[in-house]
Structure 1
Amino acid sequence: MAPSISPVQTSVVLPASTTVVVIGGGIIGLTAALSLAERGIPVTVLEKGRIAGEQSSRNLGWIRKMGRDKLDLPLSIAAEKLWGTMAQRLNADVGYRQTGILYTASSASEMASHQEWLNSVADASLDSRLVTAREIADLSPGCTVDWAGGIYTASDGRAEPTLASSAIARAAIAKGVIIVENCAVRTLSMSAGSVSGVVTERGEVRCDNVILSGGTWSRRFLATLGVPLLTLPVVASVLRTAPLTIEGMTEIAVGTPDISFRKHQDGGYIITNRGAFMVPIVPDSLLIGHHYFSTLRSQWKNMNLSLGREFMTELALSRRSSDQGSSAFERRRTIDPNVNHGLNRAALRNLTEAWPAFKKATIELEWAGMIDVTPDGLPVISPVDKIPGLTLASGFSGHGFGTSPAAGQLVADLVTGDTPIVNPAPYHLKRQHS
């Protein structure tokens, strides 16, 4: 069962025209819409299902700089600053807290990897630092494992995914943004070689610019336009415990080699089997899977391939044309993957072995979310050169929630031509085909 998000009163009226249409009501699209509206630009967000119905409300809520790719670090730093102003900007508490994030290491080789990352980002002046086993005991009391050490960033933190997107949506609406749910965009309208609107299941909306922030759906949408995008899905399973009081436990989020956990605002804990993903084999896996070989060897060491429902579902969607009826975006409005209960039970078991106080925990809710992953783990935030007027923001590879304030602003900057909040070059679409 998916987490329940804070409800938002959206529009039932589809406008005839606007300046910018955002396809996708996840946190990236909503933040981009808010950023544009704050500049006085009319925006309409069109969501085929419900806002934040997929990964935007299903992620862990971590906001971190630690461990980021060096190319992605400026976006993470900018996002952290914006998260710090979010409560005032939205006039709402979205649970943002700089409670710190700690990664533990089981071996000298893992410590060496942390040191290597620290060396690679030394010029960024982060507060990340290596810690000893004794320091870990102080940072996260009650652990019985004798770690080799770890790495800790006090300024990293968390927010609540079930609150954030809704608060951003309400703030955007207050600024004049129109959000229409249950309205799928089928394709683009073009005039003189540039975008002039979108064609939805309920009619056309004319516009000057389109932002595509459709998550795992973006590859399918672009394929209908003859634009290749390298993304494949992975599925993460998550559990949340009932409220739990653990004496002495800090609110620092912790990632060990096989678990991740952090405190939820209600006093429970959100837990996952760190790095353990289900990788559904889909038709696209056969087409572009070879681009991921190096990533599989170097980073994804705990992936579980599965051939089943997703393959057949995707195959059925691919075989039907939207020219003769509803599009794939209407036939499957929300991706709700099966929870891997085995991975969740293993995560809770590993957690209780390391922190025995969690033996008192009871599972309150379990869910799964589908993440769109690029071969290099970096998102695509880029104009689509082949289609003037179209800007893409997808492929966030599990980092979209944490970087969303800056990512949404970067998208808005690209649309308006304003000075970008960070250098957009690492995120350009053309890198996937160079």
Structure 2
Amino acid sequence: MPGPRVDPFHGDPDLPAKVDVVVIGGGIIGTSTALELAERGVKVALCEKGGIGHEQSSRNWGWVRISRRDPREVPLMAESLRIWKGLDERLGRATGYTRAGIIFTCKDDTEYDQHERWGHNLDGYQIEHRMLSAKEFQDLVPGSNLKIKGALYTPVDGRAEPQKAAPAIAERARELGAHIFTECAVRGIETSAGAISGVVTERGTIACSSVVLAGGAWSSLFSGRFGIDFPQLKVLNTVMRTEPLEGGPEQAIWADEVAIRKRRDGGYTIASGHENVVDIVPASFRYGRAFLPALKSEWRSLSFRMGARFLDEMRIPRQWALDEASPFEYARVLDPKPSQAVRAKVLKAVRETYPVFANARIAQSWAGYIDVTPDAVPVISPVERIPGFFIATGFSGHGFGIGPAAGKLTADLVTGATPLVDPAAFRLGRFSDGSKIEIISGF
């Protein structure tokens, strides 16, 4: 079965001759950036090669969390929690957002201590969080068979519906004057005197003075065409959804074996808490050295495989003329097959861990490619060597919840406004200026 059923969005028919900013990519980062710009009176066009939200922005778990984030993301996520709280009213549409809390379980004393220490990252933010004992967890989530030491509970964390959010944001941006195009791949950028002057799309050229690349897993390929070396790889995550189920927990819950999140329709999104698949591809060798710290830190949760994806990506050209079809026009949507091995493990674990799921019916399963950076922290940054070019990508599986604030920060950088938070941690130059690339644990 193909990917999740995203709310339909129909793109505009005709390209404008000129705008102020072109946003490349119609996921939650691109649409949030377009909305912020349109609200500020900036003339913006968003170009998406496929459909709005059809790749990882609709394939993620739907968690809106500050808990267990990399500390460098915490200030931006604190702002995002504030934005999500009023987002439906701002859009005039439902995203399915609700604050139901998120629980990260701890299997032993070591994990309990790690989670407890992580909580100090929220000192000064007035964000409620607390450690639960095993009994307190059982009182909060009755019927669970999880054998744990305790858990980190953050009541202000929440959930939303990935299949609804990006289309809803795009619709509101269009109401405010943004041009939104689907099945309209951007083949490349044009410059004048070294600065951005326009983009070339498969439908024609749009003149502009700024471009935001929010292309998710495609961003490294696009950037490389213009001499920008952006280290980025992909990780495959398998997800399932159940039919409506009575008696399950309201909170989203993470454990090694399985992570669950209640859906607006009464069903649940379920996935492995730790297991992901990494396809070995040509870029794995190109960026292998940059990703060594991540491999040392995360290797237990990664299953490496060599298969057809290597040949698929080897055939993708890294250079193309702007008057010919680009690779983005031959792959409108990344729709990988879910891992059947992961799927089987997750089903077994959820039924053993939460007996209420014993008779749950799986309505659909899918997979998505998470785009990752060497330090698992996004790039939200100008590209210094091309004035007017900005990148907002590499969210490493953390992009859905942080998306609205990331869009606001990107708009700040584009317009020259005071940044929402200090963007230094997200600069592109950290991968080339000699900075030490660190994986900072989410604990």
| 2:187/2:322 contact within 8 Å kept | no
Q: Percent identity?
A: 43
CA contact (8 A) 1:275 1:300 kept: no
Spell out, residue by residue over 1:351-388, the C-alpha distance to the aligned partner (whole angstroms, 9 max, x if none). 11111121011110000000110111110000000110
What is the 5 A alignment of 1:32-431? 32-246=33-247, 249-318=248-317, 321-322=320-321, 325-431=324-430
Whether the 8 Å CA contact 2:263–2:269 is kept in 1: the answer is yes
Q: How far apart are the structure 2 equivalents of 1:208 and 1:121? A: 38
TM-score, scaled to structure 2: 0.95
How many residue pairs match? The answer is 432
Alpha-carbon separation, structure 1, partners of 2:272 and 2:161: 19
Aligned residue type for 2:181: V
Please report how far the alpha carbon of residue 121 of structure 1 lies from its aligned counterpart in structure 2 after TM superposition: 4.2
User: Equivalent residue of 2:240, what SS?
Assistant: strand
Deviation track 1:322-347 (CA, whole Å, cap 9, x = no partner) reads 46731111111211111112212211
Task: Supply the AA of the counterpart residue of 1:29.
Answer: G
Question: How many angstroms apart in 1 are the aligned matches of 2:71 and 2:216?
Answer: 23
SS in 2 for 1:318: coil
SS in structure 2 of the partner of residue 336 of structure 1: coil
Q: Check 1:96–1:300 CA distance in 2 against 1; reply closer, same or farther (3 A cut).
A: farther
* Unaligned ranges ≥5, structure 2: 435-443
How many angstroms apart in 1 are the aligned matches of 2:159 and 2:318? 41
Shift of 1:122: 3.2
Question: Contact 1:337–1:369 (CA<8 Å) still a contact in 2?
Answer: yes
Matched to 2:361, the amino acid is: T
Q: Which AA in structure 1 matches 2:415?
A: T
Asked whether the equivalents of residues 20 and 211 of structure 1 are also in contact (C-alpha less than 8 Å), the reply is yes
Contact 2:225–2:319 (CA<8 Å) still a contact in 1?
no
Q: State the alpha-carbon separation in 2 of the partners of residues 343 and 367 from structure 1.
A: 11
* Partners of 2:269 and 2:145 in 1: CA distance: 20
Letter in structure 2 aligned against 1:335: L
Residues 68-107 of structure 1: per-residue CA shift (max 9 Å, x gap): 1111100110000000010110011211100000011111
The change in CA–CA distance for 1:393 and 1:7 in structure 2 (over 3 A counts) is: same
Q: What CA RMSD, in Å, does the superposition of the two structures yield over aligned residues?
A: 1.3
Which amino acid letter does the alignment assign opposite residue 187 of structure 1? Answer: G
Question: Mean Cα displacement is larger for which, 324-333 or 70-79?
Answer: 324-333
User: How much has 1:319 moved relative to structure 2?
Assistant: 6.4
Deviates most, 341-350 or 98-107 = 341-350
User: Structure 1-normalised TM-score?
Assistant: 0.97
Deviations 1:284-313 (A, max 9, x none): 100111222221222342211111122111
In the alignment, the residues of structure 2 paired with residue 397 and residue 227 of structure 1 have an alpha-carbon distance, to the nearest angstrom, of: 19
CA distance in 1, matches of 2:127, 2:262: 24
- Matched residues in 1 for 2:192 and 2:4: separation? 41
Deviation at 1:141, TM superposition (A): 1.4
CA–CA distance in 2 between the matches of 1:323 and 1:16? 17
Matches of 1:91 and 1:242, distance apart in 2: 27
Structure 1 residues 331 and 106: alpha-carbon distance in aligned structure 2, compared to 1, 3 A threshold: same
Query: Any stretches of 5+ residues in structure 1 without a counterpart?
Result: none
C-alpha displacement at 1:146, in angstroms? Answer: 2.8
Q: Do the aligned residues in 2 keep the contact of 1:105 with 1:257 (CA within 8 Å)? A: no
> Is the 8 Å Cα contact of residues 3 and 367 (structure 1) preserved in structure 2?
yes
What is the match of residue 18 of structure 1?
19
Structure 1: which amino acid aligns with 2:395? Answer: F
Structure 1 Cα separation of the partners of residues 106 and 228 of structure 2: 42
AA matched with 2:272: N
Secondary structure of the equivalent of 1:291?
Answer: coil
Q: Retained in 2: the 8 A contact 1:322–1:328?
A: no
3-state SS in 1 of match to 2:10: coil
Contact preservation (8 Å) 2:221, 2:318: no
Task: Tell me by how many angstroms 1:321 deviates.
Answer: 3.4
Distance 2:274 2:17 in 1: 45
